[in-house]
Amino acid sequence: AQSVSQHNHHVILSEAASLELGCNYSYGGTVNLFWYVQYPGQHLQLLLKYFSGDPLVKGIKGFEAEFIKSKFSFNLRKPSVQWSDTAEYFCAVSKNRGSTLGRLYFGRGTQLTVWP
């Protein structure tokens, strides 16, 4: 079955540590890739997106992600996390054609806890 996998369910880091959250997808063809963040009690906000072009994408708040087509991966990174980065992070995928056009498929999320 087609899916989006986030391998880390809960990541705990100290401030200033580096972060990498994994995301793999199993959809064939051209895909659009997203990382969303959900702070406690809030709605989802877009961190960054990839449609085409440079596979290294920079987003808000110092986050970046790298699309590796051969690995079907879109991992999220941040060189130095802050306490305020504590949140749930969701990877999402959509396709540009076919009967599933418009659907955004989410991974199960990774809870990031940053200790001050």
**Contacting positions for another protein (CB under 8 A):** 32, 34, 36, 38, 42-46, 49, 51, 88, 90, 94, 96, 101-106, 108-109, 111
Q: In the complex, what is the shortest distance from the CB of residue 100 to another protein, in angstroms, rounded to a whole number? A: 9
Q: Which is nearer to another protein, 79 or 98 (CB)?
A: 98
Q: Is the separation of the CB atoms in 40 and 87 below 8 Å? A: yes
The CA distance from 18 to 44, in Å, is 23
Q: Which is nearer to another protein, 8 or 32 (CB)?
A: 32
The CA distance from 96 to 83, in Å, is 36
Q: Which is nearer to another protein, 89 or 114 (CB)?
A: 89
Q: Which is nearer to another protein, 109 or 116 (CB)?
A: 109
The CA distance from 71 to 93, in Å, is 15
Q: Is the separation of the CB atoms in 114 and 15 below 8 Å? A: yes
Q: In the complex, what is the shortest distance from the CB of residue 107 to another protein, in angstroms, rounded to a whole number? A: 9
Q: In the complex, what is the shortest distance from the CB of residue 16 to another protein, in angstroms, rounded to a whole number? A: 26
Q: Look at the block and give the residue holding tokens 């997808």.
A: 25
